[in-house]
Structure 1
Amino acid sequence: MAETVVKERKILLAVVESEESMYALSWCLKKVVSENAKDALVLLYAKPLRSAYTALDGTGYLFSSDVMATMERYNNEMADCVMAKAKKICNDFGEMTVETRVENGDARDMICRMAQKLLPDVLVMGSHGYGLIKRAFLGSVSYHCAQNVKCPMLVVKRPKSSRNN
């Protein structure tokens, strides 16, 4: 009987603080990650750039250094919290190789850059399930990535039955 050789796959999964993102991670672990393979999961979180804070002001004034430091501290804490939650979900699934990456930048561009740099076998993302109007105003990170990444991409939408709204 011939022995089957299982190739290690690299799975890039973009995570954010949303329930949709954590659902996509859980779904990916159950449906995509193989227990027999030595799949490597790369969890990716995008922190906003400092320059994005001033755009929020809208008055043309710059935030004070205290406000900037507070916003930076909050973003670091948010990244740590999201990654801790994601790593716990992975640990509950079982033994696997998990790498975490926190990168600065616009999520759309940064996810595409990291997909180009890391060359994953698949990019997995959650979807908020916005309708046409919300998507037009808020944009869609997953749609942008689907149009620009070179690797296969899987967008996981949480079923309505598991949503709280």
Structure 2
Amino acid sequence: MEEGPTRIMLAVNQSTIKGYPHPSISSKRAFEWTLQKIVRSNTSGFRFLFLHVLVPDEDGFDEVDSIFASPDDFKELKKRDNARGLHLLEYFVTRCHEIGVASEAWLKKGDPTEVICLEVKRIQPDFLVVGSRGLGPFKKVFVGTVSEFCAKHAECPVITIKRREDETPDDPVDD
């Protein structure tokens, strides 16, 4: 039986420092680590499956304390959010294209922990790669950790890549 390329799902998010369309330090690190340590020169043997989960703001207004007067106002917000997520994914897909690795990318909305695990179940990748900020136990309680949740609940092997010490911003919660 002939098998296709190894399918690597990579959950990516935007930088909390620079915002969209910049990838987070952890997402970039996870991607680059996977290229260097797993893909190496075997670009035809792998396919990246990039997933970005748009997290809805609690009130749905994304830092905007305005009153919206028409349904078109909301359509514009949705278009803007989707465009931001697409620009983030474009970074990774473009990089794959430059080096000759096949890739796919898509956006979902919701809680990243739940959405990533549901997408793993639906897509059934060979493994999932997620970046980690490497927060200590105290900060994890308040911030939460997507990588830890995925490691426990995803229905495939999970590789968690920590960012390097020299990549950590002044506030490790930032990424």
Q: CA deviation at 1:7?
A: 5.4
Q: CA deviation at 1:90?
A: 2.1
Unaligned runs of 5+ in 1: none
> Which residue number corresponds to residue 121 of structure 1?
126
Structure number with greater Rg is: 1
Inter-partner Cα distance in structure 2 for 1:45 and 1:15: 5
User: Which AA in structure 2 matches 1:115?
Assistant: V
2:39 counterpart (28, 33, 56) = 33
- Say if 1:133 and 1:41 are closer, same or farther in 2 by CA, change over 3 A: same
> Which residue number corresponds to residue 92 of structure 2?
86
For residue 134 of structure 2, give the secondary structure of its aligned residue in structure 1. Answer: coil
Over aligned residues, Cα RMSD in angstroms? Answer: 2.7
> Which residue number corresponds to residue 13 of structure 2?
16
Q: Between Structure 1 and Structure 2, which shows a larger proportion of helix residues?
A: 1
Decide whether the 8 Å contact of 1:123 with 1:152 is kept in 2.
yes
Q: CA deviation at 1:63?
A: 5.6
TM-score by length of 2: 0.76
Match status 1:153 vs 2:158: yes
Q: CA deviation at 1:27?
A: 1.2
Decide whether the 8 Å contact of 2:25 with 2:167 is kept in 1.
no
Unaligned runs of 5+ in 2: 15-23, 171-175
Q: CA deviation at 1:130?
A: 1.6
User: Which AA in structure 2 matches 1:32?
Assistant: I
Q: CA deviation at 1:161?
A: 2.0
User: Which AA in structure 1 matches 2:87?
Assistant: C
1:45 counterpart (52, 59, 81) = 52
Q: Between Structure 1 and Structure 2, which shows a larger proportion of strand residues?
A: 2
- Say if 1:69 and 1:134 are closer, same or farther in 2 by CA, change over 3 A: farther
Q: CA deviation at 1:155?
A: 0.6
